Protein backbone atom coordinates (compact mmCIF):
# COMPACT_ATOMS: atom_id res chain seq x y z
CA UNK A 1 0.00 0.00 0.00
CA UNK A 2 2.87 2.39 0.80
CA UNK A 3 4.39 1.78 -2.64
CA UNK A 4 1.04 2.11 -4.41
CA UNK A 5 0.15 5.39 -2.74
CA UNK A 6 3.66 6.81 -3.26
CA UNK A 7 3.64 5.88 -6.95
CA UNK A 8 0.18 7.39 -7.49
CA UNK A 9 1.26 10.64 -5.86
CA UNK A 10 4.87 11.14 -6.99
CA UNK A 11 4.82 9.37 -10.37
CA UNK A 12 1.16 9.64 -11.37
CA UNK A 13 1.00 13.19 -9.96
CA UNK A 14 -2.39 12.60 -8.33
CA UNK A 15 -3.40 14.76 -5.40
CA UNK A 16 -4.00 13.23 -1.97
CA UNK A 17 -7.73 13.87 -2.39
CA UNK A 18 -7.78 12.04 -5.76
CA UNK A 19 -5.90 9.07 -4.30
CA UNK A 20 -8.22 8.93 -1.31
CA UNK A 21 -11.26 8.81 -3.58
CA UNK A 22 -9.78 6.08 -5.79
CA UNK A 23 -8.76 3.89 -2.84
CA UNK A 24 -11.73 4.62 -0.60
CA UNK A 25 -9.54 6.03 2.18
CA UNK A 26 -9.46 9.33 4.02
CA UNK A 27 -7.05 12.08 2.99
CA UNK A 28 -5.54 11.91 6.50
CA UNK A 29 -4.71 8.23 5.93
CA UNK A 30 -3.13 9.03 2.54
CA UNK A 31 -1.04 11.78 4.16
CA UNK A 32 0.19 9.36 6.86
CA UNK A 33 1.04 6.71 4.23
CA UNK A 34 3.08 9.20 2.21
CA UNK A 35 4.97 10.27 5.33
CA UNK A 36 5.72 6.61 6.13
CA UNK A 37 6.87 5.98 2.54
CA UNK A 38 9.44 8.76 2.93
CA UNK A 39 10.48 7.64 6.41
CA UNK A 40 11.04 4.05 5.25
CA UNK A 41 13.01 5.05 2.16
CA UNK A 42 10.41 4.03 -0.40
CA UNK A 43 10.39 7.66 -1.51
CA UNK A 44 13.57 9.74 -1.59
CA UNK A 45 13.44 13.42 -2.44
CA UNK A 46 16.63 15.00 -3.74
CA UNK A 47 17.35 18.67 -4.30
CA UNK A 48 20.06 18.94 -6.92
CA UNK A 49 22.76 21.57 -6.79
CA UNK A 50 22.32 24.20 -9.48
CA UNK A 51 25.49 25.71 -10.90
CA UNK A 52 26.03 28.66 -13.17
CA UNK A 53 27.75 27.51 -16.39
CA UNK A 54 31.18 28.75 -15.27
CA UNK A 55 30.83 27.07 -11.86
CA UNK A 56 29.66 23.87 -13.52
CA UNK A 57 32.64 23.97 -15.88
CA UNK A 58 35.09 24.47 -13.01
CA UNK A 59 33.55 21.60 -11.03
CA UNK A 60 33.67 19.26 -14.02
CA UNK A 61 37.25 20.20 -14.83
CA UNK A 62 38.23 19.32 -11.27
CA UNK A 63 36.39 16.01 -11.23
CA UNK A 64 37.46 14.95 -14.75
CA UNK A 65 41.08 16.04 -14.32
CA UNK A 66 40.88 18.39 -17.32
CA UNK A 67 42.63 21.72 -17.69
CA UNK A 68 39.43 23.51 -18.63
CA UNK A 69 35.73 22.84 -19.27
CA UNK A 70 33.51 25.40 -21.01
CA UNK A 71 29.75 24.99 -20.52
CA UNK A 72 27.15 26.88 -22.52
CA UNK A 73 23.39 27.19 -22.05
CA UNK A 74 22.07 26.16 -25.44
CA UNK A 75 18.61 25.82 -26.98
CA UNK A 76 17.33 22.41 -28.01
CA UNK A 77 17.79 23.45 -31.63
CA UNK A 78 21.19 24.83 -32.56
CA UNK A 79 23.04 23.19 -29.66
CA UNK A 80 26.04 22.21 -31.78
CA UNK A 81 26.41 25.70 -33.21
CA UNK A 82 26.23 27.17 -29.70
CA UNK A 83 29.48 25.38 -28.82
CA UNK A 84 31.42 27.55 -31.29
CA UNK A 85 31.61 30.61 -29.01
CA UNK A 86 33.16 28.87 -25.96
CA UNK A 87 35.42 26.87 -28.26
CA UNK A 88 36.60 30.08 -29.89
CA UNK A 89 37.36 31.58 -26.48
CA UNK A 90 39.42 28.56 -25.56
CA UNK A 91 41.37 28.63 -28.83
CA UNK A 92 41.88 32.38 -28.61
CA UNK A 93 43.39 31.92 -25.14
CA UNK A 94 45.88 29.46 -26.65
CA UNK A 95 47.22 32.36 -28.77
CA UNK A 96 48.07 30.32 -31.86
CA UNK A 97 49.63 31.76 -34.98
CA UNK A 98 52.38 31.22 -37.52
CA UNK A 99 54.57 28.32 -36.52
CA UNK A 100 51.88 26.67 -34.37
CA UNK A 101 49.97 23.53 -35.32
CA UNK A 102 46.20 23.14 -35.04
CA UNK A 103 44.82 19.66 -35.64
CA UNK A 104 41.18 19.31 -36.66
CA UNK A 105 39.18 16.15 -36.08
CA UNK A 106 35.96 15.23 -37.84
CA UNK A 107 32.31 14.50 -37.07
CA UNK A 108 29.03 16.40 -36.94
CA UNK A 109 29.93 18.48 -33.90
CA UNK A 110 33.33 19.53 -35.27
CA UNK A 111 31.70 20.38 -38.60
CA UNK A 112 29.09 22.56 -36.87
CA UNK A 113 31.59 24.59 -34.84
CA UNK A 114 33.83 25.19 -37.87
CA UNK A 115 30.86 26.33 -39.91
CA UNK A 116 29.68 28.65 -37.13
CA UNK A 117 33.09 30.24 -36.75
CA UNK A 118 36.61 29.93 -35.34
CA UNK A 119 38.83 32.74 -34.04
CA UNK A 120 41.50 34.30 -36.27
CA UNK A 121 44.83 32.51 -36.04
CA UNK A 122 46.84 33.92 -38.97
CA UNK A 123 49.45 31.54 -40.31
CA UNK A 124 48.57 28.60 -38.06
CA UNK A 125 49.33 25.23 -39.66
CA UNK A 126 46.06 23.29 -39.89
CA UNK A 127 46.29 19.51 -40.29
CA UNK A 128 43.58 16.82 -40.36
CA UNK A 129 43.52 14.04 -37.78
CA UNK A 130 43.34 11.16 -40.27
CA UNK A 131 43.66 10.22 -43.88
CA UNK A 132 40.56 10.09 -46.06
CA UNK A 133 37.55 7.86 -45.41
CA UNK A 134 35.42 5.93 -47.85
CA UNK A 135 32.33 7.80 -46.68
CA UNK A 136 30.11 10.17 -48.63
CA UNK A 137 28.73 12.15 -45.70
CA UNK A 138 30.11 15.64 -45.23
CA UNK A 139 31.16 15.12 -41.60
CA UNK A 140 33.66 12.38 -42.61
CA UNK A 141 35.72 14.55 -44.96
CA UNK A 142 38.90 15.12 -42.94
CA UNK A 143 40.84 17.02 -45.63
CA UNK A 144 37.86 19.29 -46.25
CA UNK A 145 37.70 20.02 -42.51
CA UNK A 146 41.34 21.13 -42.64
CA UNK A 147 40.62 23.40 -45.59
CA UNK A 148 37.52 24.92 -43.97
CA UNK A 149 39.25 25.49 -40.63
CA UNK A 150 42.24 27.13 -42.34
CA UNK A 151 39.90 29.38 -44.30
CA UNK A 152 38.07 30.41 -41.12
CA UNK A 153 41.22 31.09 -39.11
CA UNK A 154 43.50 32.52 -41.79
CA UNK A 155 45.75 29.50 -41.41
CA UNK A 156 47.59 27.24 -43.83
CA UNK A 157 45.81 23.96 -44.67
CA UNK A 158 47.60 20.64 -44.95
CA UNK A 159 46.12 17.51 -46.52
CA UNK A 160 46.67 13.78 -46.31
CA UNK A 161 46.07 12.21 -49.71
CA UNK A 162 45.90 8.65 -48.42
CA UNK A 163 43.14 6.46 -46.97
CA UNK A 164 42.86 6.44 -43.20
CA UNK A 165 42.72 2.62 -43.17
CA UNK A 166 44.77 1.23 -46.09
CA UNK A 167 45.43 -2.44 -46.70
CA UNK A 168 48.36 -3.65 -44.62
CA UNK A 169 50.53 -4.43 -47.66
CA UNK A 170 50.40 -0.81 -48.95
CA UNK A 171 50.52 1.09 -45.65
CA UNK A 172 54.27 1.69 -45.86
CA UNK A 173 53.96 2.90 -49.46
CA UNK A 174 51.51 5.62 -48.44
CA UNK A 175 53.62 6.63 -45.46
CA UNK A 176 56.70 6.87 -47.69
CA UNK A 177 55.08 9.57 -49.85
CA UNK A 178 56.74 12.91 -49.14
CA UNK A 179 53.51 14.91 -49.02
CA UNK A 180 51.95 12.44 -46.58
CA UNK A 181 55.11 12.52 -44.45
CA UNK A 182 55.01 16.32 -44.32
CA UNK A 183 51.44 16.34 -43.03
CA UNK A 184 51.58 13.45 -40.56
CA UNK A 185 54.86 14.83 -39.24
CA UNK A 186 52.87 17.77 -37.85
CA UNK A 187 51.14 15.42 -35.40
CA UNK A 188 54.30 15.44 -33.29
CA UNK A 189 54.02 19.23 -32.97
CA UNK A 190 50.34 19.74 -32.09
CA UNK A 191 49.78 22.90 -30.05
CA UNK A 192 45.99 22.60 -30.05
CA UNK A 193 43.42 20.18 -31.44
CA UNK A 194 39.65 20.11 -31.79
CA UNK A 195 38.13 16.63 -31.80
CA UNK A 196 34.73 15.02 -31.56
CA UNK A 197 34.01 12.28 -29.06
CA UNK A 198 32.22 9.29 -30.55
CA UNK A 199 29.41 7.54 -28.72
CA UNK A 200 29.53 3.85 -27.72
CA UNK A 201 30.51 1.65 -30.68
CA UNK A 202 27.37 -0.46 -30.38
CA UNK A 203 25.24 2.57 -31.30
CA UNK A 204 24.91 3.99 -34.78
CA UNK A 205 26.36 7.49 -34.96
CA UNK A 206 23.55 8.87 -37.09
CA UNK A 207 20.46 7.37 -35.48
CA UNK A 208 21.66 6.45 -32.00
CA UNK A 209 20.08 3.02 -32.55
CA UNK A 210 22.00 -0.25 -32.03
CA UNK A 211 24.27 -1.18 -34.92
CA UNK A 212 23.22 -4.15 -37.01
CA UNK A 213 26.79 -5.55 -37.12
CA UNK A 214 28.93 -4.16 -34.28
CA UNK A 215 32.63 -5.09 -34.21
CA UNK A 216 33.07 -7.87 -31.60
CA UNK A 217 36.53 -6.47 -30.75
CA UNK A 218 34.83 -3.33 -29.47
CA UNK A 219 32.06 -4.80 -27.36
CA UNK A 220 33.39 -2.99 -24.29
CA UNK A 221 33.84 0.36 -26.01
CA UNK A 222 32.06 3.39 -24.57
CA UNK A 223 33.36 5.76 -27.25
CA UNK A 224 36.29 6.86 -29.36
CA UNK A 225 38.47 9.83 -30.23
CA UNK A 226 39.80 9.64 -33.80
CA UNK A 227 38.98 5.92 -33.90
CA UNK A 228 40.96 5.19 -30.75
CA UNK A 229 38.33 3.25 -28.81
CA UNK A 230 38.33 3.04 -25.02
CA UNK A 231 36.38 1.37 -22.24
CA UNK A 232 34.68 3.07 -19.30
CA UNK A 233 37.95 3.10 -17.35
CA UNK A 234 39.83 4.82 -20.17
CA UNK A 235 41.77 1.78 -21.37
CA UNK A 236 42.46 1.82 -25.12
CA UNK A 237 40.89 -1.20 -26.81
CA UNK A 238 42.85 -2.99 -29.53
CA UNK A 239 40.94 -3.71 -32.71
CA UNK A 240 41.85 -5.10 -36.11
CA UNK A 241 42.46 -1.69 -37.68
CA UNK A 242 44.30 0.01 -34.83
CA UNK A 243 47.80 -0.83 -36.07
CA UNK A 244 47.30 0.27 -39.68
CA UNK A 245 45.44 3.54 -39.36
CA UNK A 246 46.91 6.66 -40.88
CA UNK A 247 45.72 8.76 -37.98
CA UNK A 248 47.10 10.74 -35.09
CA UNK A 249 48.06 8.28 -32.36
CA UNK A 250 46.85 8.16 -28.77
CA UNK A 251 50.42 8.96 -27.70
CA UNK A 252 50.49 12.07 -29.89
CA UNK A 253 47.13 13.24 -28.55
CA UNK A 254 48.37 12.85 -24.98
CA UNK A 255 51.53 14.80 -25.81
CA UNK A 256 49.68 17.69 -27.49
CA UNK A 257 49.51 21.05 -25.79
CA UNK A 258 45.70 21.24 -25.78
CA UNK A 259 43.12 18.75 -27.06
CA UNK A 260 39.58 20.11 -26.88
CA UNK A 261 36.77 17.58 -27.05
CA UNK A 262 33.43 18.92 -28.27
CA UNK A 263 30.42 16.76 -27.43
CA UNK A 264 26.82 16.99 -26.24
CA UNK A 265 23.98 14.59 -25.46
CA UNK A 266 22.97 11.98 -22.91
CA UNK A 267 24.37 9.15 -25.04
CA UNK A 268 27.78 10.85 -25.01
CA UNK A 269 28.08 10.92 -21.20
CA UNK A 270 29.96 7.59 -20.86
CA UNK A 271 32.00 8.52 -23.95
CA UNK A 272 33.12 11.84 -22.45
CA UNK A 273 34.01 10.20 -19.15
CA UNK A 274 36.03 7.51 -20.95
CA UNK A 275 37.84 10.04 -23.16
CA UNK A 276 38.88 12.07 -20.13
CA UNK A 277 40.06 8.97 -18.27
CA UNK A 278 41.99 7.84 -21.36
CA UNK A 279 43.65 11.29 -21.47
CA UNK A 280 42.73 11.64 -25.13
CA UNK A 281 41.25 15.07 -24.40
CA UNK A 282 42.60 17.67 -22.01
CA UNK A 283 39.68 20.13 -22.25
CA UNK A 284 35.97 19.95 -22.99
CA UNK A 285 33.25 22.13 -24.52
CA UNK A 286 29.68 20.99 -23.90
CA UNK A 287 26.21 22.23 -23.02
CA UNK A 288 24.69 22.66 -19.55
CA UNK A 289 22.37 19.65 -19.83
CA UNK A 290 25.21 17.28 -20.71
CA UNK A 291 27.38 18.88 -18.05
CA UNK A 292 24.71 18.22 -15.43
CA UNK A 293 24.43 14.58 -16.49
CA UNK A 294 28.22 14.25 -16.31
CA UNK A 295 28.25 15.65 -12.80
CA UNK A 296 25.46 13.24 -11.79
CA UNK A 297 27.47 10.33 -13.21
CA UNK A 298 30.49 11.48 -11.22
CA UNK A 299 28.53 11.58 -7.99
CA UNK A 300 27.53 15.23 -7.91
CA UNK A 301 29.40 18.09 -6.32
CA UNK A 302 31.89 17.76 -3.51
Tens digit of each residue's pLDDT (9 = 90 or more) over 1-24: 889 999 999 888 899 999 999 999
In tens, the pLDDT along 77-100 reads 678 899 999 999 999 999 999 999
Evaluate whether 58 touches 87 at the Cβ level (below 8 Å).
Answer: no
- Percentage of the chain beyond pLDDT 70 is 92
CB 281 within 8 A of CB 259: yes
Model pLDDT, residue 252? 98
Read off the pTM: 0.80
Angle at 140 between CA 186 and CA 241, to 5 degrees: 70
Task: Spell out the residues 6+ positions from residue 262 whose beta carbon is closer than 8 angstroms to its own.
Answer: 83, 87, 109, 110, 113, 194, 195, 196, 197, 284, 285, 286
Q: What is the pLDDT of residue 219?
A: 84
* Strand 228-230 with 223-225, pairing: antiparallel
Statement: residue 262 has pLDDT above 60: yes
pLDDT of 180 over the 70 cut: yes
**How many other CB atoms are there within 10 angstroms of residue 198's CB atom?**
23
The whole-number pLDDT of residue 128 equals: 98
User: Is the model's pLDDT at 293 over the cut of 60?
Assistant: yes
Position with higher pLDDT, 237 vs 137: 237
pLDDT of residue 78: 74
Q: Does residue 238 or residue 208 have the better pLDDT? A: 238
Average pLDDT of the residues in 233-243: 90
Fold of 53-297: Rossmann fold (3.40.50)
pLDDT digits (tens, 9 = 90+) for 49-70: 555 677 899 999 999 999 999 9
Number of helices and strands (H, E) in the chain? 13, 9
More confident position, 277 or 205: 277
pLDDT in the model for residue 302: 52
Amino acid sequence: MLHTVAKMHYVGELSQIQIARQLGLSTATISRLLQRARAEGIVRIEVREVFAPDELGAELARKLGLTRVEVVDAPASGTLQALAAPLSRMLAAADLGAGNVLMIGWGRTVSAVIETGLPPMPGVQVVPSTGGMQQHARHFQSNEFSRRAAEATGGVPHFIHAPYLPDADVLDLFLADSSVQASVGLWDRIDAAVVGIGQPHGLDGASGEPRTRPDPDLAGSVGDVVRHYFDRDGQILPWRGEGRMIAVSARQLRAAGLVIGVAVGEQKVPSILGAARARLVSALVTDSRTAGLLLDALGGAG
